Structure 1
Amino acid sequence: NDLETALKDVHDLNEGLSGTVRLTAPTVAGRLFLDDLITGFAKEHPAMAIELIYDEAKVDLVTSGIDAAIRAETLLDPDTYAFPIGPTQQMTIVASPDYLAESPPLEEPADVAVHSGVCFAIAGADKLAPWVFAGTDGPYSVMPHPKIVTNNVTSILESAKAGLGLAYIFASSVESSLADGRLVQVLEGQTAALPRFSLNYLSKRNMPPRVKAFVDYAKRYNP
């Protein structure tokens, strides 16, 4: 396999950019920015193919055959390279009107601790994404009692609409639901923005031309 890859890379150098770039990313990255980035890259390099698998699980870059992974900073592989990609994401907390009518009041982040929550599982149900708030001494986390745990943003949104608890979610994901009144924003202005995603890859040395082309394009991408 290594020999075939090396021969393909030599062919790429001699014939121009071609081949397949293999990527993995969490599902939410697609809607937020990655689908747009891939479209631009594909148009700029029409002889290249892209395999993009959306998967919440962390993939081993060494053994999987994946060229690069889009990940949160906390999931980067050791001894690899990474740089920020995509926009900073503002988070918000929402709930259905029915849930809020029957639940304790929410006046400050500490109040979240007595509520039910629809929580995002990072790498399994035993590791939940923290709910991060902006404090005078820096970001801090307050978690609700997990009522629903899932690794799918659409499921989080639907569970919140069904009145199953508070949801901590990308602000861009709930605009239409806030507009039609199915969800209500709470603790407005008190959540902290999340860091940008990172593009994680193995090595700067002996990088296949197809991967270098994608890395170079991603560094220039400005959503």
Structure 2
Amino acid sequence: MDLNRVSAFVRVVADGSFTGAARALGLPKSSVSRSVAQLEQDLGIRLLHRTTRKLHLTDAGAAFYDRVSRALTDIDEATVAAADMQAELRGTVRVTAPVDLGAAVLAPVVARFVRKHPAIHIDLVLTGRVVDMVAEGFDLAVRVGPLRDSSLIARRVGQLDSALYASRKYVARRGKPKDVDDLANHDCVLFRPTQGKELWRIVNPAGEKREVSVVGAISADDLSFVRKAVLSGAGIARLPQFLCGREEASGVMVRVLPEWASEGGILHMAYPSARYVPQRVSVFREFAAGELAKVSKQCEAAELARRNG
């Protein structure tokens, strides 16, 4: 079977006309029509019903198209993949991530990667909104917590725990809460509250779980802002430990109710469900997944060390 004739048939069906297929293939319309007719003769079946206005697939034509179009796509992807593997890694990888995670964690990861692969450009978009990866042309997304889009492939790379923090100046002014119920008597800085309240789910080393609803005069949809508000003495907030480690070590920020922590958000790398992924994307994905897993383990080790003394 002549694959050129099969390709011509697939193009005709995809474009809905011999004229459109001829334009796409850069061939005379008569050549495309002749190729399809010869294919039908080779197969001994009619693939298309032709009218003056439209083309219609026969039942046999529809079944044939379904199989051969996928086979031709596989051939195209294999050809591109083989060429990609031989070529120098270059081009753009588009990545999206939350603002706080991108600034605090991904910046050094990307810097290390481009030192190893200087011909690859990482276009990192930091945003608090959930982007449409396919429509907006993103290759990868870094997400914390459950994924809303079930069409994406999600790869778990770690877990990022949160804790309750206040600045030393706030503690000097208001003191620390003595127990979980005492949080109601303190100022809190809220992250994405619902109806003016934020629900904190916390757990202690014994596995006891509590839920506490807190209020405060300040709320924001950006964790970096919440962190800075806490550092300014505005109140207590639930914050990721990776955002506060340096300030906690220096004594500027302190843990309140240190035996309680927020159950961690799962750290994912997500990407569209596509069969062929350019090598530059897969190389960055593997590198970033490994580096993010290290960050997760470092946070876990720091928390264990703190609890042990």
TM bucket normalised to smaller: 0.7 to 0.9
SS where residue 88 of structure 1 aligns? strand
> Runs of 5+ in structure 1 lacking a partner?
1-5
Confirm or deny: 8 A CA contact 1:109 1:133 kept in the other structure.
no
SS where residue 136 of structure 2 aligns? coil
**1:171 aligned partner:** 241
Look up the equivalent residue of 1:133 and give its one-letter code. I
Aligned partner of 1:84 among 156, 165, 168: 156
Deviation for aligned residue 1:113: 3.4
Separation in 1, partners of 2:84, 2:274: 17
Deviation for aligned residue 1:202: 0.6
5 Å-filtered alignment, 1:60-139, equals 60-85=132-157, 88-97=159-168, 99-100=170-171, 103=174, 106-121=177-192, 130-135=199-204, 136=206, 139=209
Residue correspondences, number: 215
Residues 4-32 of structure 1: per-residue CA shift (max 9 Å, x gap)? xx99x936455342210000101221344
Separation in 1, partners of 2:143, 2:103: 14
Aligned partner of 2:226 among 156, 172, 176: 156
Deviation for aligned residue 1:76: 4.2
Q: Which moved more, 1:43-52 or 1:27-36?
A: 27-36
Structure 2 residue 303 is matched with structure 1 residue 199: no
The 1:114–1:203 alpha-carbon spacing in structure 2 relative to 1, beyond 3 Å, is same
SS where residue 281 of structure 2 aligns? helix
Look up the equivalent residue of 2:106 and give its one-letter code. L
Look up the equivalent residue of 1:45 and give its one-letter code. H
Separation in 2, partners of 1:210, 1:37: 15
Q: Which moved more, 1:111-120 or 1:196-205?
A: 111-120
Look up the equivalent residue of 2:181 and give its one-letter code. A
Separation in 2, partners of 1:199, 1:187: 32
Confirm or deny: 8 A CA contact 1:125 1:150 kept in the other structure.
no
Q: Which moved more, 1:58-67 or 1:38-47?
A: 38-47
In the superposition, the TM-score normalised over structure 1's length comes to 0.77
Confirm or deny: 8 A CA contact 2:189 2:236 kept in the other structure.
yes
Aligned partner of 2:124 among 52, 55, 71: 52
Confirm or deny: 8 A CA contact 1:77 1:200 kept in the other structure.
no
Separation in 2, partners of 1:194, 1:201: 22
**2:256 aligned partner:** 186
Confirm or deny: 8 A CA contact 1:114 1:145 kept in the other structure.
no
Confirm or deny: 8 A CA contact 2:146 2:266 kept in the other structure.
no
Separation in 1, partners of 2:196, 2:212: 15
> Runs of 5+ in structure 2 lacking a partner?
1-75, 295-309
SS where residue 78 of structure 1 aligns? coil
SS where residue 141 of structure 2 aligns? strand
Structure number with higher helix proportion: 2
**1:3 aligned partner:** none
Name which structure has the greater RCO, CA cutoff 8 Å, separation 6+.
Answer: 1
Paired-residue identity, %: 26
The 1:73–1:153 alpha-carbon spacing in structure 2 relative to 1, beyond 3 Å, is closer
For the pair shown, the structure with the greater C-alpha radius of gyration is 2
Separation in 1, partners of 2:247, 2:119: 40
Residues 186-211 of structure 1: per-residue CA shift (max 9 Å, x gap)? 10121135234211101251223332
Separation in 2, partners of 1:128, 1:204: 40
Residues 131-159 of structure 1: per-residue CA shift (max 9 Å, x gap)? 33115556543231032111333322232
Deviation for aligned residue 1:34: 1.7
Separation in 2, partners of 1:19, 1:74: 30
Separation in 1, partners of 2:214, 2:103: 26
Confirm or deny: 8 A CA contact 1:147 1:165 kept in the other structure.
no
Residues 67-87 of structure 1: per-residue CA shift (max 9 Å, x gap)? 1111112244212111123x5
